[in-house]
Structure 1
C-alpha cells in the first residue's frame, strides 16, 4: 500500500534543509518511536488489537544517505517493527523537503508498506488499517514539521540584510510601515 502526506512550512527552503539534514539521526528516530507507539494505541482504539496496556514494541528507524539538490532534499527512511507478530506494518519511503518559493517549503512523507498477516491483513487494511497508517504518517510528518519550525533560524527582514546590529535600545518609528514577524503506523 502507498501513503503520501505533506505539510507546508512558512520557512525558506535553505533553513528547512539545514535542520532536516543536521544530526537527523539524533532526533528523527525518537519521533518515529513515538509515532509507532501512537499507531499501536490507535489499533487498540479501533478494535484491531487487544488490550489496553501500554504498548512498547520498539520500532527501528533507518535513515539512508540524503540526496540534495538546489531545491530538494530527500532522505530515504525505513521504519521496522522489531516484533513482527502485530498489525503494525514496516514502511519504506522518503522524507523530503521541497522549495515552494522564497519563504515556503513543502515537507512530504511518502511510504509503501505490505499489510501484515497475508490475506487477512489485506482485508483489514482495506477496512481500517490503512486509515490508521495514514493518520500515523500524518502525525509523524507534523512532528517533523514542528521540530524543523522550532529549530529553523528566522530570516532577517530585507531592511536588516547587510545592516549593522543595533547597539543599546532601538526605537522604531511609529506608523507608516508594516513589519512582518513569524508543523504511528507511520
Structure 2
C-alpha cells in the first residue's frame, strides 16, 4: 500500500460528506416510517402539558433527538393525542404503554357526499332504531364553501317550505338556490 492510496482524495471526501449529510438531513430510514395518531383519551384535570408528555413518551421509545424529529402534531385542546412519524416496531412499542388507548395510521380521506341518506341507499322513511343510533358519533368536516360544488346542487328539490322565513343574499360570486 502506497502513501498515496491511504489518503482520501478531495472527490471521495466530498462524496462521503454528501452521503452523510443526506442521511442526516433527509432521514435514511424515514421511508420506512408512516404517520400514526397516538390517542391517549381525554385531557387530565389540573396542571398538565400535553406536548411535554407526548415528547417524553416518544423520547422513551426513540431517544431525545429522534423524538422531536418524529412528532408531527400535538393535539392539546379537546383530546389528548399526537401524530408522529414511526416505524411499525416503534408504533407497537408506543401502543404497549399503559397511558396509550390506541394507535392508528393517519389517513387522508376524500369527502364523498353531503347527502348521506341517499349515499348509503336509505329512504327518508327508513325504520329507525334510537337505541342503536344513540351510540353513533358523527364528525363534521368543514371543507369550506364552493358554490359550484355538486353538494349545493338543488336538482330534484322543490321550493323551500312555506314556513321557512330565511332569506338568501347572493353576491358577485354567489347565487342562491332552492
Question: In terms of Rg, which structure is larger?
Answer: 2
TM-score > 0.5 by shorter chain: no
Which structure is higher in RCO with an 8 Å CA cutoff and minimum separation 6? 1
| TM-score with structure 1 setting the length | 0.22
| TM-score with structure 2 setting the length | 0.22
